[in-house]
Amino acid sequence: MVLVLLVILTLYPFVFMAITSTKSYAQFLHSYWIPAWPPHIVENYVAAWNQTRGYLLNTIYVGVLTVVGFLFTTTLAAFVFARFRFPGKEILFGSLMILMMIPQILQLIPAFMWVRKLQLLNTYWVLILPYIAGGQAYAVFILRTFFSSLPQGLFDAARIDGARDFQTYYMVALPLSKGILATLAILRVQQVWNDLIWPLITLADDSKRTITVGLYYFQGETQTQYGAMFAGYLIASVPLFLLFLVGMKQFMAGVTSGAIKA
């Protein structure tokens, strides 16, 4: 069956990674393809954990602050654009949307010079602030479409009950958009988790590094500790795996309902 074959081929690199993470160097050389006995799980994973722990905590810290700031700013803006009329609305919205045409790579070099001038190098903020700024246009677009589709009756009802304009934002709009917020949050976290170049050039201080940069250097230091190296790769995948298990239903539904559209 073709599907079984596709699954095996797709997952094989990671299975190989998992199996090798339990071996000593000698075992890796002698039984390359198959699991070896006795496994060196504790030894390899302790070594890997000690090396990656700090990077993981940094990444989680940056990821959480990014997502909170990102969802707060984008939902506010999208709510205003979706449910109010005010002078300059179209111009403001257009000037936000045009950012979707401007690739991030254009600004990589000047952004580095700019954050250096702002003296943000080697701080967590050098990641968090640009990460919050990064996906604004796209998220506001998605959220505005969603907020516009909510029936006006819900807002009228809340208002009759005495809610003011912005109470309807967190009493009506936000609770109804949990699914789409989860999808946007997961996408954002995944981007933070995967970004290499920006943290690579802005964080010289090893103690501030995120997991991606940490692993990039990690392989250089341990020439023959393949077991620990692959254990580290696996540990780095655990947080997103957990997040994915919690949010997968929302995420798949979000993609299905069109949260991922250019």
Q: Which of residues 28-87 bind other proteins (CB under 8 A)?
A: 28, 32-33, 72-74, 76-77, 79-80, 84, 86-87
Q: Which of 26, 46, 196, 204 binds other proteins (CB under 8 A)?
A: 196
Listed in sequence order, the DSSP H helices in 84-194 are 89-97, 108-117, 125-134, 136-149, 152-160, 167-168, 174-176, 178-194
* Least distance (Å) between residue 89 CB and other proteins: 9
Binding residues for other proteins restricted to 5-24, rule: CB under 8 A: 6-7, 9-11, 13-14, 16-17
**Distance in angstroms (rounded) separating the CA atoms of residues 251 and 186:** 8
Interaction of residue 260 with other proteins, rule CB under 8 A: yes
Q: Which of 101, 151, 152, 220 binds other proteins (CB under 8 A)?
A: 101
Amino acid at 200: L
Residue-by-residue DSSP string for 94-122: HHHHGGGGS-GGGGHHHHHHHHHHTT-TT
| 186 contact partners, CB below 8 Å, separation of at least 6 | 243, 244, 247, 250, 251
* Least distance (Å) between residue 178 CB and other proteins: 19
Q: How many residues bind to other proteins according to rule CB under 8 A?
A: 82
Q: Which of 43, 104, 124, 159 binds other proteins (CB under 8 A)?
A: 104
SS (H, E, C) 20-59: HCCCCHHHHHHCCCCCCCCCCHHHHHHHHHHHHHHHHHHH
* Least distance (Å) between residue 219 CB and other proteins: 6
Binding residues for other proteins restricted to 207-236, rule: CB under 8 A: 211-212, 215-216, 219, 226, 233, 236
Closer residue to other proteins (CB): 40 or 141: 141
**Distance in angstroms (rounded) separating the CA atoms of residues 170 and 158:** 11
Q: What distance separates the 2 farthest-apart alpha carbons in the chain?
A: 75
Only segment of 41-49, 60-68, 107-115, 154-162 that touches other proteins (CB under 8 A): 107-115
Binding residues for other proteins restricted to 123-182, rule: CB under 8 A: 129-130, 132-134, 136-137, 140, 165-166
Closer residue to other proteins (CB): 6 or 41: 6
**Distance in angstroms (rounded) separating the CA atoms of residues 168 and 163:** 6
Interaction of residue 204 with other proteins, rule CB under 8 A: no
